[in-house]
Structure 1
Amino acid sequence: MKKILTGLAACSMLLLLSAAADAQDVVEFLTGARVEGKVESIDQTKKLVTFAALIGGRSLDRVYTYSQIHAVTYQGKRYVLNPKTDAPSAEPAKPDAGTGRTTASPAKVDVKSIIGEAGRTPPDWYNSTPLDYPPTLDLSWPEKPPGGWNSKKNMGQYVWSEINPNPSHWRGGVKLLHHLLAMHKDNAEVRTRVIRSLGNMYFNLFQDYARAAFWWEHGGVGPTDRQAVSLAECYFRLGDRAAAEAFLHDPDRSSRTPVSDRMIKLWADMGETDKAVKLARLYVRSGGSKFSAYLFAGDACRTVGRFKEAMAFYQEVIDSPNGSYRYADRDRTRARNNLDAVRRFELFDISKVADGTYTASSRGYEDEVHVEARVAKGRLESLRVTKHKEKQFYSSLTDVPQQIVEKQAVQGVDATSGATITAEAIINATAKALSQ
């Protein structure tokens, strides 16, 4: 133990001398779980390690006791605190069903603990966010409010029309829902509505997968509920693939889980392109809309470079009769834009684009989404959305351009969950702008 403390003392001294490290630090737990991020501090007196854990693409501050930890890796040096007697066996690598590439299974993560810790603590901005809402708002939140649409009075409509489309209101929206939880502590029906809405906000607006999962779990979300696929995505993003798959219909196995078109996208995001394609066909055979299913299937194929299949799915959408589907014209336009974008994808090479500023637009959920791309010295320097009429865009207006700039390509960019149509429009408009 003396040797361990000496190692930790050296580690603490390094923390004082260096503000940051290029390499990821790692905490390995006695349970076999591990998490990457940055060691912030080590308190030898209290035997605590403060760690900024990188979970689901976000940094969350966590405090761990020595007794929980097997080893800490800081700036490339590994310090063992407690030996392990039974090391868990690693899962073998397996081929990706969509691409054929062999990928190693991710390290085991204690997702339940992550969800529990995040849910019990407020975001770092919560206490400084004021509680502010219209005095006309009916905080009783009846399931079916009387009268017509009135976003200044009806709570659900206020969330949809005033909070979701306005990023400056997002934090205040979370604060308001927590206020409603306290107000309705004895009303189980309203509390459940508020709790599930909190999950929606953390997922759609902040991509805070741990807190979204916490609130949806407390709201009793199950495999047949509307938020089920989103909860499955939370588990997947946090590192628990098995928990995610339990909420999905697997076309390769006997499954009682109802088929949903949104599952097609999640299977694709999980690297299972073949399952996504099979599920799309199963969904259509079961009476589901060919428009939504084959748009998702086409997107799944084009993300991994299976352009011929993607084009075939988009063409199926274009050729489909409207029937009773209310969004047929809009989705047919999306399919045409996607088909055009695929043709441009195959020719896309940012290094051959001349320096300058390029603009284009593509159809989103409400109307055209306009982008502006700036190229300098063979690199995409910036990309931004300059004009749109989208309402439920969530983080796609910033997240998708950031992905494209980071990748220096439009291929393989993930569409933001809950705002797939807006994200798709940004990708298509960028491809159009840079291939003129």
Structure 2
Amino acid sequence: MRPALCSSTLLLLLAVGLHAADPKSKEVPAATIAKQVAESAKTKPPWWDQVTLDYPQTLDLTCPKGGAWNSSLVPGNWMWDIVNPNADKWKEGTKFWHFVLTNAKQKNLKDAEQQATMNLGHCYGDLLQDWPRAVYWYQQIEAQYGKNDNRTIDMANAYWRMGNRTLAVQTIKPIPQDATRHGSLIKLWADLGDYKTAYQMAQTRVAVGEDIAWFMSGYTAQLEGAWTKALDCFKKAEASDQKKSGRDWKQVKERATSAIQAITLFETLDLKRVPDGKFAATSTGYTGPLSIEVVVAGHKITALDVTRHSEKQYYAALDEMPAKIIAKQHVKGVDATLGATITAEAIVYATAKALNQAKP
């Protein structure tokens, strides 16, 4: 069960979403970012003393690799099956990996130390969105285990979320092409507002994976507000050839279909015509249908909640996307949560459906 989003967390998400998405926002200086990251390394998170270290005692703290999947024995499997899908366990999971790291260093368990370091980056970034601590752990991963495109993209996203677009651009600029499964690099360039780079990068992927290449081309055009271009790209993704596409071909086609339906709704949506009330709709998430309920009062979106879903690795999307939509008071130009893009898209598309179905 996902815990209710408290008002302080919602306000933080609103502030971060507005700052990161608004190109007119004044950048937070790089020196300030560096100071925040350094301070985070020296201090405990504010929730630390209120969270008990709680994990199955059957877990093997040496963090064995390979073998059969066993979430009662293998810490990484437990993280995936139990912690990631349950937001009320994210802090417990984070504290657990700190414990694993300390234990690994004391006993010279190199594999466990590496897994703990990697997972702390994941916990603070993907789950808790504690960006200074996320950057610190991404830096530790890079320093100890070398660079990796996915981690570099995560680092850039964290800099951007902390309010410095320049650092984000400098971080991902050396990566020549997007080789990620879901087009994460293309997405981040589009989120940063560099639509030309994002579109060009997406087009270079057509030859090796036309489904995700055309879908991300559509995502870029959608954020840019080029609706005709976006529709054309999504239709090409919907019609993509399985033999020329990746392993997520069926899912990408379903996402493209939802996007095509939603784009027409984006253009016609006018909150001034939406009466007060609660409205619900469903779209396609990563693992199945995702339903939302949106509340409108005085022609403003006052609340938005995901009421039903079967997502497992949704990370922060279930809270972050509603906060972004409420902040923007529209579904147009809302960038999706990195790492949980498909879940995030489903929330946006379902919200567009719900509001357009509302009758005065």
TM bucket by the smaller chain? 0.7 to 0.9
1:165-204 CA distance string (max 9 Å, x none): 1011011001100100111002333212211110011101
SS at match of 1:362: strand
1:352 aligns to 2:273 (yes or no)? yes
CA distance in 2, matches of 1:102, 1:403: 15
User: Structure 1 residues 225 and 189, CA, compared in 2 at 3 Å: closer, same or farther?
Assistant: farther
Offset, 1:225: 4.2
Tell me if structure 1 keeps the 8 A contact 2:27–2:164.
no
Show the counterpart of 1:334.
255
CA distance in 1, matches of 2:323, 2:316: 11
Give the structure with higher Rg (CA).
Answer: 1
Residue identity in the other structure for 1:176: F
Tell me if structure 2 keeps the 8 A contact 1:223–1:248.
no
Match of 2:139 among 213, 217, 223: 217
Q: Which has the higher contact order (CA 8 A, sep 6+)?
A: 2
CA distance in 2, matches of 1:364, 1:398: 15
User: Structure 1 residues 102 and 199, CA, compared in 2 at 3 Å: closer, same or farther?
Assistant: closer
Match of 1:57 among 4, 12, 16: 16
1:340-363 CA distance string (max 9 Å, x none): 100110100011012332111000
Residue identity in the other structure for 1:383: L
1:264-323 CA distance string (max 9 Å, x none): 1111111111111011012334x2x22223322222221231111111110110111112
Residue identity in the other structure for 1:245: V
SS at match of 1:227: helix
Show the counterpart of 1:410.
331
Structure 2, unmatched stretches of 5+, are: 1-11
1:223-268 CA distance string (max 9 Å, x none): 434322111212232344444334425xxxxx56453321111111
What does 1:106-185 correspond to in 2, within 5 Å?
Answer: 106=27, 108-110=29-31, 111-144=33-66, 146=67, 148-185=68-105
1:67-96 CA distance string (max 9 Å, x none): xxxxxxxxxxxxxxxxxxxxxxxxxxxxxx
Structure 1, unmatched stretches of 5+, are: 1-52, 59-100, 250-254
Show the counterpart of 1:419.
340
TM-score normalised per structure 1 = 0.71
1:317 aligns to 2:237 (yes or no)? yes
Show the counterpart of 1:381.
302
| Bigger helix fraction | 2
Show the counterpart of 2:169.
245
* Equivalences, count: 333
Residue identity in the other structure for 2:34: K
Show the counterpart of 1:275.
197
Is 271-280 or 109-118 further displaced after alignment?
Answer: 109-118
1:129-156 CA distance string (max 9 Å, x none): 1111112211110222x2x222121111
Q: Identical aligned pairs, as a percentage?
A: 34
What does 1:65-144 correspond to in 2, within 5 Å?
Answer: 103=24, 106=27, 108-110=29-31, 111-144=33-66
Tell me if structure 1 keeps the 8 A contact 2:62–2:111.
no
SS at match of 1:283: coil
Is 126-135 or 372-381 further displaced after alignment?
Answer: 372-381
User: Structure 1 residues 191 and 300, CA, compared in 2 at 3 Å: closer, same or farther?
Assistant: same
Show the counterpart of 2:7.
none
Tell me if structure 2 keeps the 8 A contact 1:177–1:198.
yes
User: Structure 1 residues 205 and 362, CA, compared in 2 at 3 Å: closer, same or farther?
Assistant: same
1:259 aligns to 2:178 (yes or no)? yes
Show the counterpart of 2:6.
none
TM-score normalised per structure 2 = 0.86
Show the counterpart of 1:231.
155
CA distance in 1, matches of 2:57, 2:288: 33
CA distance in 1, matches of 2:109, 2:356: 57
CA distance in 2, matches of 1:346, 1:404: 16
User: Structure 1 residues 430 and 217, CA, compared in 2 at 3 Å: closer, same or farther?
Assistant: same
Show the counterpart of 1:297.
217
Tell me if structure 1 keeps the 8 A contact 2:221–2:227.
yes
SS at match of 1:325: coil
